[in-house]
Structure 1
């Protein structure tokens, strides 16, 4: 199996002459390969000592690159399994030991794609709210609910991390290529049995167009968790966040975790600057306003590039003055 490394140990190998990276939980010594990298040595040096799984997948490396990796593998990363969300404890008590096993493990696998079936799909206009309260959204936003294996299953996604969705897509030249993109669910592990994605469909977006074409009962391929950041209660006193469009979803994941954690003593404060073009582009507006109204520690600052005449929020592009005030 090779040696086990902590992420801190990998991070110490961060120079051209001593260069380790992490891919899908495995550690690779790229030192002998640095000068041969087709994309330049600088790219590898910038990535030295880090978990590069997401960047590697998104870059769409060749079969040759994947064949070289086993020769450079030197070990694995020693990690701890994510802890169960405290809000699930009552459900565990109610449903017994078998569900304890499902809830504490999660179904995600970081290095293996799994298929999850589409259960609900809703296109939303800016003047229609979804019954399960995700707010008012532009018509280009689509919500997707995917079923987990059982009603008691959870993804096992730590707060602050995301998933990768992969699909084999036909390219303009007629060839097939696997395309992988990262998304943050708007649901959490306190909601077993399913996970929800909120995605804006773009005309040139390969994965978003693929998702838009899914019918109920179709499946997507998912793996994870992905990401180097994991939120823990009171890890900082105050978060300053900036988001635009569906870039809100990872911020909302953390904000909701903070709000849920108030009962357990989470005192973290948040100022979120949320930038959009038009007022009707503001995703999850009702949710955000409800959170800010009921929690004094969460403050939302809207900024529009094309505001209506009666707009009282920020105007234009986000700048240093807006950040300093927030």
Structure 2
């Protein structure tokens, strides 16, 4: 196995400029499985982030009923992945999704049958007036068909929040994140939340793998100089925080990958309470 480099990032923002976050978004992005492994150890210093509104914004999600949101922008990221931007009802509306939670989207497959899947937006409630999803569209995926067919002006049915993970600033000293494929999205969401909170000193360590370099989404258009191979027990031991009651390892990837990571983590002494799988 190759010696894999560690990219260390530390951010301190002193004025309101979302382009800083967009640059960061283009560094850490979704979609992977086994081949190219991006390992990022991020020491996150807090970012000073001004509120975009002075009144309490309207929260749009309903946990019991589906609501429609219009697609206003679609950006192709790779041969099978795209970024979808949906408008909220007003410029001051927020989705109303707690950090660490996800939404349930409803659509139609190629046969016209109803299908539902869970997704984690890459935006937060600090993004007002819209929310964004990064979606990998598989050739035979049922919900993939729905997203593949979506055009500007079409509407997506969504309800939520849902999910078992609850995040609050400083709940742990450090997160170790192990992601595969679109499993990067909840990790990205939590990372952004830490960056935007000047009081949150949580350290984040990320192991992120993709099938190929081209499957690494939202990355700058440069050549890949990182490691290649599967995530191993040795990589976890080297690049994630050691077992402790004040750390947590978050996992999100394909089932086979999640199972393998759980086996490695157990062998390294991470107790079940130190692990969470999205």
Which residue in 2 is equivalent to 1:140?
80
1:271 aligns with 2:205: yes
Return the alpha-carbon distance in structure 2 between the equivalents of residues 114 and 251 of structure 1.
25
CA contact (8 A) 1:155 1:189 kept: yes
Which residue in 1 is equivalent to 2:120?
184
SS at match of 2:109: strand
SS at match of 2:185: helix
Return the alpha-carbon distance in structure 1 between the equivalents of residues 109 and 214 of structure 2.
32
Return the alpha-carbon distance in structure 1 between the equivalents of residues 153 and 214 of structure 2.
31
The verdict on how the C-alpha distance between 1:312 and 1:232 changes in structure 2, with shifts beyond 3 A counting, is same
CA RMSD of aligned residues (A): 2.2
The partner residue of 1:233 within 165, 169, 185 is 169
Which residue in 2 is equivalent to 1:167?
107
1 or 2, which has the higher helix percentage? 1
Which residue in 1 is equivalent to 2:237?
324
Return the alpha-carbon distance in structure 2 between the equivalents of residues 88 and 147 of structure 1.
22
1:314 aligns with 2:227: yes
After TM superposition, which residue ranges in structure 1, 4 or more long, deviate above 6 angstroms?
Answer: none
Which residue in 2 is equivalent to 1:15?
none
Instruction: State the 1:212 CA deviation.
Output: 1.3
- Cα shift readout 1:228-262 (whole Å, capped 9, x = no counterpart): 1121111000111111122111100000111111x
The verdict on how the C-alpha distance between 1:312 and 1:143 changes in structure 2, with shifts beyond 3 A counting, is closer
What 5-or-longer segments of structure 1 have no aligned partner? 1-85, 93-98, 125-137, 290-307
SS at match of 1:122: strand
Return the alpha-carbon distance in structure 2 between the equivalents of residues 232 and 182 of structure 1.
22
Which residue in 2 is equivalent to 1:119?
72
1:249 aligns with 2:189: no
The structure with the larger Rg is 1
What 5-or-longer segments of structure 2 have no aligned partner? 1-47, 240-278
CA contact (8 A) 1:245 1:283 kept: no
Instruction: State the 1:220 CA deviation.
Output: 0.8
Return the alpha-carbon distance in structure 2 between the equivalents of residues 186 and 90 of structure 1.
18
The partner residue of 1:91 within 53, 65, 69 is 53
Instruction: State the 1:187 CA deviation.
Output: 1.2
CA contact (8 A) 1:246 1:283 kept: no
The partner residue of 1:109 within 22, 46, 62 is 62
CA contact (8 A) 1:153 1:193 kept: yes
Instruction: State the 1:314 CA deviation.
Output: 3.2
Return the alpha-carbon distance in structure 2 between the equivalents of residues 286 and 177 of structure 1.
38
Return the alpha-carbon distance in structure 2 between the equivalents of residues 123 and 89 of structure 1.
30
Higher RCO (CA < 8 A, seq sep 6+):
2
Which residue in 2 is equivalent to 1:197?
133
The partner residue of 1:284 within 215, 218, 230 is 218
- Aligned ranges 1:8-23 → 2 under 5 Å: none
Instruction: State the 1:139 CA deviation.
Output: 2.9
The verdict on how the C-alpha distance between 1:285 and 1:169 changes in structure 2, with shifts beyond 3 A counting, is closer
Instruction: State the 1:107 CA deviation.
Output: 0.7
Report the TM-score, using the length of structure 1 for normalisation. 0.55
